[in-house]
Structure 1
Amino acid sequence: MSPRDPSLRLIRAAVFGMACVVVSAGGHLLAGGGAIAPWALALGAAASLSLALVLGGRERGREGVLAATAGTQMLLHLLFAQTSAHVVVPDHGHPRPGMIVAHLTVALLTGWWLYRGESSVWTLLRLWSAPSPRLPRLLAAAPVLLPSPVRPAVPEGEPEPRGRRELAAVVHRRGPPAPSRAG
């Protein structure tokens, strides 16, 4: 699988789009914005997925992922505010300082999480595609013969123990401990 593989690009775009839609819809509902129409969720998901597909052709840096996440969150907020079934909070469709701070905070946290995941995927792809210089040497190396274990010599006159010498004095008991009498 290469970084340019369309299936990998689609998977990365789907993760980005769904993370943005779920976080925005959840925040909208928790803020009292009312129910979101299913077609608005589908439209938001399609728009987020399309944006991520356009931007997902190469590895993006931290700033790019954070900016895309913040922009997508704001657009989804506007879409959900305009298409809600009912608006519980007055002026929910108009940006207020608290709403902007909440959206930016959530967008930064979500963007950071997405960036770290994106960075991990690209690192794994680079490691997977890089040849390992040690692997051929390991495969070509001669097998190492391990020495056989050395048994201690048994003095004359003593019978040779059947098991290991260290465990000769171990006492095995089955069952719970015997009841003791209190004094």
Structure 2
Amino acid sequence: MSALERVSRLTRAAVFAAVCVVMSAGGHVLAGGTPVTVWTLFVGMVAAFALAYALNRHERGPEIVVTATAGAQLLLHELYTRSVSVSITQADHVHAGTNGVGMSVAHLVVAVMSGWWLYRGESAFWLMVRLWGMAPLPKLRRLLVGAVEPFTPPIRVVLAAEAKTYRGPELVRAIPRRGPPALLNAR
């Protein structure tokens, strides 16, 4: 793997991890009201980074990116929930009872939205890589003029024995009146 490929993978993994952790922690704090410790954010960032680095060797489709984001969001939700200080009892914590389901649903909604956003960014990145690798002049001409290649009809040799006049049903009703009017031809 070249140095450029390593930097590319590290950068994309860092973006994935940052989006997952920041959106998850922000939503968790806003919905749950409990602060997330810096140590927990660091552990979440390392875990999301490791997941992204393992998956981003080549371009992935939306199903993989959104699933990985959803999995990361749910794991981060559990990490944040378990990192709550022991001084806060389970009854006082927002995740108790039915609110835990609402928090999980909120994490999944954020996961799908951010997963789609990350997929579109990943798709744009790989498009740029493909465009960068193209030979410039022919590809630039194709982009500016269009992908229209000049048409060259196929050449087929027809022997005289094979040649015959086509009299299919399409031509039965054709009127053979070509040429000048009949009055002009009379002499």
Classify the TM-score, shorter chain: 0.5 to 0.7
RMSD of Structure 2 on Structure 1 (CA): 2.6
Once the two structures are TM-superposed, the CA of residue 122 in structure 1 deviates from its matched residue by: 0.3
Pairs within 5 Å for 1:1-183:
5-85=5-85, 86=88, 88-92=92-96, 96-134=100-138
Q: State whether residues 31 and 103 of structure 2, in contact with CA within 8 Å, keep that contact through their aligned partners in structure 1.
A: no
TM-score, normalised by the number of residues in structure 1: 0.67
Once the two structures are TM-superposed, the CA of residue 100 in structure 1 deviates from its matched residue by: 2.6
Letter in 1 for 2:120: R
Q: State whether residues 61 and 115 of structure 1, in contact with CA within 8 Å, keep that contact through their aligned partners in structure 2.
A: yes
Once the two structures are TM-superposed, the CA of residue 31 in structure 1 deviates from its matched residue by: 1.2
Q: State whether residues 9 and 56 of structure 1, in contact with CA within 8 Å, keep that contact through their aligned partners in structure 2.
A: yes
Letter in 2 for 1:22: V
Letter in 1 for 2:10: L
Secondary structure of the structure 2 residue equivalent to 1:60: coil
Q: Quickly say closer, same or farther: Cα 1:32–1:101, change in 2 above 3 A.
A: closer
Structure 2 unmatched ranges of 5 or more = 142-187
State the Cα deviation string for residues 143-177 of structure 1 (Å, max 9, x = none): xxxxxxxxxxxxxxxxxxxxxxxxxxxxxxxxxxx
| Divergent runs of 4+, >3 A | 85-97, 133-137
Q: Quickly say closer, same or farther: Cα 1:128–1:136, change in 2 above 3 A.
A: closer
Secondary structure of the structure 2 residue equivalent to 1:31: helix
Q: State whether residues 20 and 48 of structure 2, in contact with CA within 8 Å, keep that contact through their aligned partners in structure 1.
A: yes
Once the two structures are TM-superposed, the CA of residue 133 in structure 1 deviates from its matched residue by: 3.6
Task: Return 107-116 or 27-36, whichever deviates more.
Answer: 27-36
Q: Quickly say closer, same or farther: Cα 1:93–1:131, change in 2 above 3 A.
A: farther
TM-score, normalised by the number of residues in structure 2: 0.65
Letter in 2 for 1:29: V
Q: State whether residues 10 and 53 of structure 1, in contact with CA within 8 Å, keep that contact through their aligned partners in structure 2.
A: yes
Letter in 2 for 1:107: A
Letter in 2 for 1:43: V
Q: Quickly say closer, same or farther: Cα 1:56–1:97, change in 2 above 3 A.
A: same
Percent identical across equivalent pairs?
A: 47
Once the two structures are TM-superposed, the CA of residue 40 in structure 1 deviates from its matched residue by: 0.8
